[in-house]
Amino acid sequence: LTLTLTLTLTLTLTLTLTLTLTLTLTLTLTLTLTLTLTLTLTLTLTLTLTLTLTLTLTLTLTLTLTLTLTLTLTLTLTLTLTLTLTLTLTLTLTLTLTLTLTLTLTLTLTLTLTLTLTLTLTLTLTLTLTLTLSHTHHPSS
């Protein structure tokens, strides 16, 4: 699943994005604006695996947060990042600032399962935005 969202604004923006999913998610969010920005990004990932035989599970989580700020006047930046991973990943990012902000947030979660039996996967994605979804499925062995 590949999700790409690009917004370019010049006034006040309030964005709330909530995702609930399993398997692989690549989220790229780029915001460029020149006045007040309030960004609330809530990502909830719930992974539930129940099997009654031998299972080899490899979970690789890579979280990269890059903030680039170019300012010439007073900047007040408050960044709160809370990450709890206990089969539940909660990422809360709160930004409040003035003047020019360029924010790039990339979150990649890759789950690899190697099994020799039939596997049922369920993907639930709920968004309240206008965007384009592209999903590529690779058949398992």
pLDDT of 21-33, one tens digit each?
A: 445 555 555 555 4
Q: What is the DSSP letter of 122?
A: -
Handedness of CA 117, 115, 86, 81 (dihedral sign): negative
Q: How far apart are CA 27 and CA 2, in angstroms?
A: 7
Q: Do 126 and 20 contact (CB within 8 A), yes or no?
A: yes
Q: Could you report the per-residue pLDDT of 100-129, keeping only the tens digit for each?
A: 545 555 555 555 444 444 444 555 555 455
pLDDT (average), residues 46-64:
48
Task: Check: pTM over 0.75? Answer yes or no.
Answer: no
Give strand pairing partners of 64: 106
Domain ranges of the chain: 2-128
Give strand pairing partners of 3: 27, 133
